[in-house]
Amino acid sequence: MSADVNLGGDVEIKWVEVPEAQDIWEGDIVDAAVDGEQVIIVHHLDGSYDAFQGLCPHQEVLLADGKWDEESCVIACPGHLWEFDMKKGDGINPKGSTLYRYPVKEEGGVVHVGIPQDGEAHYTKSYES
């Protein structure tokens, strides 16, 4: 299964195999450096995958080290407990921040994350302190 992300225009996507995500169970998360970018990959209970920026928009702590609840699909950052909906990438508490979402696909048990070749930073940052 794959998650489609509308990048608009004709942005070229570089699909990168992510061995770290190869054998994670449904309901698990894993962090990985993908083509130099820190990414968190979620293997949902329904078998689908999502991939988001792996560093918290607040102060760049590794989200995968946070408290993860696979039923609610919510992760709490270990830094200051900001919570994110890992289906949408939206901030729950506080609201207003959003994780950058990467395209992701799984083919034959191999997970690939798409890195847009657009020269942009694939990362959002909150300016709340």
Q: By the criterion CB under 6 A, which residues form the site for ligand FES?
A: 56, 58-59, 61, 77, 79-80, 82
For the beta carbon of residue 100, count every other beta carbon within 10 angstroms. Answer: 21
Q: How far is the CB of 28 from ligand FES (least distance, A)?
A: 20
User: Which lies closer to ligand FES via its Cβ, residue 32 or residue 55?
Assistant: 55
User: Which lies closer to ligand FES via its Cβ, residue 40 or residue 56?
Assistant: 56
Q: How far is the CB of 126 from ligand FES (least distance, A)?
A: 9
Find out whether 77 and 29 touch, Cβ atoms under 8 Å.
no
Structural tokens at position 32: 């990985």
Whole-angstrom Cα Rg for the chain = 14
Q: How far is the CB of 2 from ligand FES (least distance, A)?
A: 28
Phi, psi of 63 (to 5 degrees): -60, -35
The residue sitting closest to ligand FES, measured at its beta carbon, is 79
User: Which lies closer to ligand FES via its Cβ, residue 88 or residue 105?
Assistant: 88
Compute the half-sphere exposure of residue 55: CA atoms within 13 Å on the CB side of its CA: 16
Q: How far is the CB of 76 from ligand FES (least distance, A)?
A: 8
Bond prior to 116 in cis (omega within 30° of 0): no
User: Which lies closer to ligand FES via its Cβ, residue 84 or residue 111?
Assistant: 84
